[in-house]
Amino acid sequence: MEKKQIAAQLYTLREFTQNPADIAGTFAKVRKIGYEAVQISALGPIDDKELVKIAQNEGINICASHDNGKLICEETDKVIEHLLNINCKYTAYPYPHYYPKTANGVIEFARAINKAAIKMKEAGITLCYHNHAIEFQKFDGEFMLDIILREAPQVQGELDTHWVQAGGQDPTKWIEKLSSRQPLLHLKDYAVVGNDRRLAAVGSGNLDWNSIILAGEKAGVQYFIVEQDDCYGVNPFDELKSSYDYLTENFVK
């Protein structure tokens, strides 16, 4: 892993990115931590040109985005235009914009995403799929995620380590399963506090990071993206720093 491959998912900092001035300040703080790349998500209104200028001023690569799932499927051209404007070649379908209730429903759902992926690929953009625990429910004995990956062959993976674990699966085995089909990997730890499962900074929970990072490197992951949806009252910048420090100290070559 190289430092430039470690990115911060700005959904973690969504409270601090709701206007252009705050976005600029957040980019500066993220760069000061050490991150050279970000995945944009849940930003407030900002002109594409201004966003690019902010990133350039701070020396940050907008390596990927999360875009609204409904928008990806139903207004694909609009998403493509935005991504081309900010010179971003990866995006991810972040969360089901509706819930299929049958195996055939999952197939229909996947094919709609695949259709968007085909159009994006023609524009030089790669569409990935970001999982939560819900994709590990079964339909006719098969994981929802397996159906999606089979029926959407043009869609790449953006596995999330915490949510794979929360779905009762082994993150390392799933990374290996998606080898050469996973340019993006979401890193967040899985902690148990009392009777509760919690999202946690990388290296502070129970996941086997030696195994996960090695599998990611072998699988051809381009960006290892740190995300923490909930920091439970702790400053999210501090949590991102904790993850960054752990990764650079233990895995950067």
pLDDT per residue, tens digit, the chain (253 aa), is 999 999 999 999 999 999 999 999 999 999 999 999 999 999 999 999 999 999 999 999 999 999 999 999 999 999 999 999 999 999 999 999 999 999 999 999 999 999 999 999 999 999 999 999 999 999 999 999 999 999 999 999 999 999 999 999 999 999 999 999 999 999 999 999 999 999 999 999 999 999 999 999 999 999 999 999 999 999 999 999 999 999 999 999 8
Task: Answer yes or no: is 86 within a domain.
Answer: no
In a domain, 217, yes or no: yes
- Give the number of domains in the chain: 1
Kindly state whether residue 88 falls inside one of the protein's structural domains: no
Residue in 242, 93, 251 with CA at minimum distance from that of residue 159:
93
Provide the whole-model pTM. 0.96
Strand-strand pairing, 189-193 and 196-200: antiparallel
Candidates 47, 38, 59; CA nearest to 19 is: 47
- The predicted pLDDT at position 226 comes to 98
Residue 110 lies in a domain: no
Cα 147 → chain centroid: 20
Structural domain that includes position 177: 3-69+126-136+155-251
Q: State residue 253's pLDDT score.
A: 84
Q: Which two tokens stand for residue 185?
A: 């990997």
CATH number of the domain to which 172 belongs: 3.20.20.150
Q: Give the per-residue pLDDT at 167.
A: 97
Residue 160 in domain: yes
